[in-house]
Structure 1
């Protein structure tokens, strides 16, 4: 699973260089969250929200849980 997440990060990162799309940022945020890279995840959720403040993935409970977790450190 770890290798697949790394592949996903690489692939999504390459696409983001050509298309700054909210759904790509949100998907990359989900992959980072799955690999416990919470700061990276949060920054990508925030990027998705800058493009579209109504993005469902970026306004779901996941980003709120990440913010809560990060505030504990």
Structure 2
């Protein structure tokens, strides 16, 4: 249900659906598009566009480290 709602988003949904159910080239192009959008954000906003994804990844890595040490 949530996936169908996300797939209906105008700009992002069809690309995500194609990356999930499409061929390998669609997955590669989706990742390439994400990297290019991040590069454009770095060019437009500078240093904060580099730092914010790293700060967002900190809690995720913290949970992964806890799960690794938990066994």
Q: For this structure pair, what is the TM-score category when the shorter chain's length is used for normalisation?
A: 0.3 to 0.5
Larger Rg: 2
Q: What's the TM-score, normalizing by structure 1?
A: 0.35
Higher helix share: 2
Q: What's the TM-score, normalizing by structure 2?
A: 0.35
